[in-house]
Amino acid sequence: MRKKIYYDDQPELPFEEWDNPYDVASESNTSYSSPRPIYFCSFGSGSSGNACYIGSKEGGLIVDVGIRAEELERGLDSNGIDMKHVKGVLLTHDHADHVKYVYSLLRNHRHLKLFCTNRVLNGILRKHSISKRIKEYHIPIFKEIPFKVLDFEITAFDVPHDGSDNMGFSIEYDSRRFVIATDLGEVTDRARYYMSRASYLMLEANYDAQMLRMGRYPEYLKARIASGSGHLDNRQTAAFVSEIINPSLNHIFLCHLSKDNNTPQIALRTVREALESKGKKVGGAMETFEDQKADVQLAALPRFDMTRWFVFRK
């Protein structure tokens, strides 16, 4: 069994014996007869900028900051979430569409901690014009070694992509897991392990293979996108989710759709057909009467716009 690592407020090293300042479990003796709600919202998904929020009544986390800090703050405020409610930022890798505005968010809200690997932090400093003072907020994490923020147990896992270091996140809360895997060229065994255990899965469906092949991109860029360290196409994503579909998987969010080589309609149709071929009834994640009868909810995250506020209770 892997050791769980709990962090104190010092960013240098993890200490197993220290209490976690973000862990509220010891502060509450409340017993719950049903799972506590999980909140989710995406602020944008794609090469123009990525960011999402995952939270509970106790607080929450922002994953990636490729969206302006002001937009994140406005979006959270519109749903009654003050930035003091946010306890940390997770980064999947060091590409600009995931980290461009991370320092401005941290600088404006000094209580936040930045959770990423040392390689991601070094990649950010090497590739982008970001102040070295970002180190003051950093708490290093390590792939496949769980850590806790509030009641969230978070495990980073390796995914193949062409950043300095690339990872997905499995975020467990009240016996359910929200798993994020954006920007990966193929599904490796370790990525499959974490994604197959998801209750809510955010997985990229970046491009339609035919659109990419016939499109205007130069050949070197087409090759990079289609490589094992590039991105997943719709059919790869569809084949994978149809393999792992199970009664515990409630929602599938398709993310990081290409503006030039995909459309939400094509991505959704491709994945929906694969799931239906397995005998699954697929809902549209809109909480309609028909959705309530579905086995799984499927939605594509918009490129520029904020999604509605999702509340997961099962």
Domains of the chain (ranges; CATH) run 36-307 (3.60.15.10)
Sort 149 into a burial class: Cβ within 10 Å, 0-12 / 13-18 / 19+.
buried
The pLDDT value given to residue 64:
98
CA angle 41, 47, 50 (to 5 degrees): 25
Structure tokens at 64: 């990636």
What pTM does this model have? Answer: 0.90
User: Above 50 in pLDDT, residue 271?
Assistant: yes
- DSSP secondary structure, 97-133, as one string: HHHTTHHHHHHH-TT-EEEE-HHHHHHHHHHS---GG
Instruction: Compute CA distances 278 → 42, 204, 268, 295, whole Å.
Output: 28, 21, 16, 11
User: Above 50 in pLDDT, residue 2?
Assistant: no
Separation between Cα atoms, residue 62 and residue 65, nearest integer Å? 8
Separation between Cα atoms, residue 284 and residue 290, nearest integer Å? 9
The pLDDT value given to residue 288:
95
Indicate the residue type of 128.
H
- Taking all residues of the chain, what is their mean pLDDT, rounded to a whole number? 91
- Summarize pLDDT for 177-217 with one digit per residue, the tens: 999 999 999 999 999 999 999 999 999 999 999 999 999 99
Separation between Cα atoms, residue 290 and residue 273, nearest integer Å? 17
User: Above 90 in pLDDT, residue 30?
Assistant: no
Q: Which is it for strands 138-140 and 38-44: parallel, antiparallel or unpaired? A: unpaired
The pLDDT value given to residue 314:
86
| Residue 187 phi, psi dihedral angles, 5° rounding | -95, 110
Separation between Cα atoms, residue 141 and residue 91, nearest integer Å? 10
Separation between Cα atoms, residue 159 and residue 210, nearest integer Å? 24
The pLDDT value given to residue 21:
52
Strand partners, 312: 38
Average pLDDT over residues 128-153: 97
User: Above 60 in pLDDT, residue 116?
Assistant: yes
